[in-house]
Amino acid sequence: MSNQFENVIKEFDKYSYYTEGKIARGIEEHRKGQFALVFKDGAGNLLRDVRVRVKQLSHEFNFGCNLFCLDHYPTPEKNALWEEKFKKIFNYAVVPLYWDALEPQEGKPRFAEDSEKVFRRPAVDRSVRFCRENGIRMKGHCLVYNSFNPAWMSENNREMKIQIDRRLRALAERYGEDFFDVDVINEMYRIYKNCYKGMGCRNLQITDEQEHEKWAFDLAKKYFPHSRLFWNEGMHEVLGEANYSGFRSYYYLAIKEALSRGVPVEGIGIQYHANVEKEYKWEGNPWHPLRHVTNPLRLLDALECYGSLGLPIHISEISLPSYGYDERDEELQAEVTKRLMRLWFSEGSVSAIVWWNLADKTAIGDENLYHSGLLREDLSEKPAYKALDELINREWNTSLSAEVSGRLNFRGFYGEYEIEAERGGKKTVQKIRLCRDNTGFDNRRCDFRAKEIVIG
């Protein structure tokens, strides 16, 4: 059987004469910097003949996945394997805060690790502990969502707002310093007049209020002043043929208008669930659901357009199907993954790329039919997982060895490094962050960014 990703790849590669160079330049410009290490003795004298080893330990850029299936499996061995696969390539995790599962009984939130287990909704304490122990940055998802709300929630707008205020206050008191980012609102594009309830799961009528976005973001900023606040939207709603028209796009205009009114929107989420039937007709079908959202020129244009708002962009929920365990289908998933990852990573406005389900058969409902995980159901690695591992841990990783006198200048990817320096039988090993935001100076002025390493 044919696989439509073959057409996606052909269309993507049609523009490689332009995109390959642009992507390579973008990665070099936006993801790497000039760094300087200065080696001295305890008296402050520069040292000669220093043997140096530089090893990058982690990225400043957020490579992420949701944590929904932490402790999901029936055996400790399988859960440990899932954690190992997660930690190997991801430094960023989305912690589920869906209200219906977090607080099924009013006033009794499932924060503690010994809370009753719920499918795809680990207790928040457990998620936070896993991230803290493994140096993984966290994003909370989602604070004020028009879905997944508890049955006990009031139908009176005023009382509903009080309940939401109470919910955010309780989350912030316990986790306010843990979340680097939070999704404040999610999938608002098609939500209006909730009395119609759309798919039957839209049940937050305060979204119909004209000032809803401002109220939600102001409330979030009150309780999460140290987290970046994101507005998250769907793939087709942001990138689709009917919805993306550059600076005239609905989502762009909605964010721009909110910013003009002082709404503290601090980040833009763009989902990328590309789950479409395997044999969906491509030829002669200008409205194929993937034709426009996978066109590299259109993707670059959209990212530059939204990037002009001056906010970080998250490619926030990625699903790329492999449809099953056919070898060819899995290879096509990997090829599309590599192309999209490089494009997204090259854009300076993008600060996170987040896969949605690490393993197959851990999604919701019919989404499982697409096998969009990076791991198979038995947690063995698909080619797409190996492709991410190769990109993140090897191609986009800086390691070097040298013998220097006084100073080492080098260019590397932003992140945390281990520096091992040895001279005359004396050795030191230090961890340092080499990142764009350390000084405020342009990275090319590397003299301003010198890190001092003392030996002895």
CA–CA dist 194, 160 (Å, integer): 14
The pLDDT value given to residue 202: 53
Which residue is listed with tokens 């997982």?
Answer: 385
Contact 131, 138 (CB under 8 A): yes
The pLDDT value given to residue 5: 93
How high is the mean pLDDT of the chain? 93
Task: Name, in order, each residue with C-beta under 8 angstroms of 292's C-beta and a sequence gap of 6 or more.
Answer: 239, 240, 241, 244, 298
CA 189 to chain centre: 21
The pLDDT value given to residue 443: 54
CA 262 to chain centre: 25
Q: What is the DSSP letter of 428?
A: E
The pLDDT value given to residue 195: 46
DSSP 264-308: ---EEEEEEE----TT---TT-TT-TTTTTT-HHHHHHHHHHHHT
The pLDDT value given to residue 435: 84
The pLDDT value given to residue 283: 87
Contact 252, 309 (CB under 8 A): yes
Q: b/e string for 78-87 if b means 16 or more Cβ within 10 A? A: ebebbbebbe
Q: At what angle do helices 296-307 and 327-346 cross, to 10 degrees?
A: 30
The whole-model pTM stands at 0.95
The pLDDT value given to residue 200: 45
Q: For the chain, list the domains and their CATH numbers.
A: 5-25+63-392 (3.20.20.80), 29-55+399-454 (2.60.40.10)
The CA–CA distances, whole Å, from 167 to 154, 230, 351 equal 13, 18, 28
The pLDDT value given to residue 92: 98
Task: Name, in order, each residue with C-beta under 8 angstroms of 364's C-beta and a sequence gap of 6 or more.
Answer: 120
What residue ranges of the chain have pLDDT lower than 50?
193, 195-196, 198-201, 440
Task: Name, in order, each residue with C-beta under 8 angstroms of 20's C-beta and a sequence gap of 6 or more.
Answer: none
CB-count burial class (<10 Å; 0-12, 13-18, 19+) for 11: middle
Contact 330, 5 (CB under 8 A): no
